[in-house]
Amino acid sequence: MNAERPFGRGSVSLGLHVYDEHDGARQAGTIVAQARAAEAAGFSGVTFPEHHGGFPGYMGLPGLAANWVLGATERIWAAPAPYLLNLRNVHLAAEELAWSNARFPGRFGVALAPGYARSDFDLLGVEFEGKAQRFEEHLEELLPTLEARGDGAANPAFRFWAEHPAPIVGAVNTKVGVRRAARFGMSIFFPGGETRERMRELISVYREAGGEGTVSKVRPMWLGEAPAGAIEAREAMYAAAAVKGSKQSTGFREPFLHGDPDHVTAELLADVEEIGLDGLNLRFHLEGGTHEWVCEQIAAFGGQVLPPVQAALAR
């Protein structure tokens, strides 16, 4: 895999979020505008994380947003990441993914996750307990379906996938998760928040389990000083959404990255070198942020930080 492929080696992608300053129609438009800005700035691709019910900054149909962007850009790849497989009928999920890949071959990928916010499950009437086991069962059904080896094998999108598969990665942050990804032949995509030492440990477990794919990591960040109180509000929002006792509920062990371009560059280079990353997924998402601010962040990052980070990943 290379930087031009979703989650490929050397890729620096941008995670996109909606902002509550706009209504739904304008939010959809700003997503596309930010993706175009990312393409102009030199990013490899864009991703869309998933939550439901108006969870601040998120939309519930990341695969749909990926298609909007791919139809409005020329070079970059796009992927729902994470895409919450547990919330979907597996065959319908397979059709959505396969047709997206058929329409945009080589530019579409997906990062699969079981989900962690109970509010997503409650809203959609899906049982929360036992989600890890169901996720594994869903994978066992999804992968052969996509490869035209299961029900619906006559679907032309599945037959296309069998010959031209899109990258599927696992959004993981546990030893169980990385072993599962290795077993299913998936690359791994760290949602972020853990220490470098912990991520090195998880990568070691993944490799020992036979995992041969790429390793990418999410890094939320902000060039310059973050808006007052925005970092604290962000951490409180994620902790409140998580189930008590889960990793997400205990807060982020990795500090939110912000500061001048030299500091941000040094931290990202340390991520690449000390963890052993193949790709990065950056997110300019903070409470109080605006579409205009994000576009400024994209342009500034592309001009000042992106080139040395891409060079480090290429090495």
- Per-domain boundaries in the chain: 12-314
Helices (H), 125-260: 131-146, 156-163, 175-183, 196-208, 230-241
Burial label for 11, CB within 10 Å (0-12, 13-18, 19+), is buried
Rounded to the nearest 5 degrees, what angle is found at the Cα of 212, between the Cα atoms of 185 and 193?
Answer: 90
Please tell me the distance from the alpha carbon of residue 281 to that of residue 43, in angstroms, as a whole number.
10
The pLDDT of residue 206 is: 98
Instruction: Quote the pTM value.
Output: 0.92
Q: How confident is the model at residue 100, as a pLDDT?
A: 98
Is residue 170 within 8 A of residue 180, CB to CB? The reply is yes
> What mean pLDDT do residues 44-50 have?
96
State residue 219 phi and psi, 5-degree precision: -135, 100
Q: Which fold has domain 12-314?
A: TIM Barrel (3.20.20)
| pLDDT for 249 beyond 60 | no
Among 110-114, 134-138, 144-148, 225-229, whose mean pLDDT is lowest? 225-229
Lowest mean pLDDT among 157-171, 196-210, 250-264: 250-264
In 177-295, beta strands by DSSP E: 187-190, 215-223, 257-259, 279-283
Q: Specify whether the CB–CB gap between 140 and 149 falls below 8 A.
A: no
Q: 161-165, 232-236, 284-288 — which one is most confidently predicted on average?
A: 161-165
- Whether 66 and 167 have beta carbons less than 8 Å apart is answered as no
CA distance 210 to 61: 32
Q: What is the rounded average pLDDT of the residues 242-255?
A: 59
Rounded (10°) angle between helices 291-304 and 261-270: 70
Percent of the chain with pLDDT over 90: 78
Query: Beta strands 45-48 and 12-15: pairing type?
Result: parallel
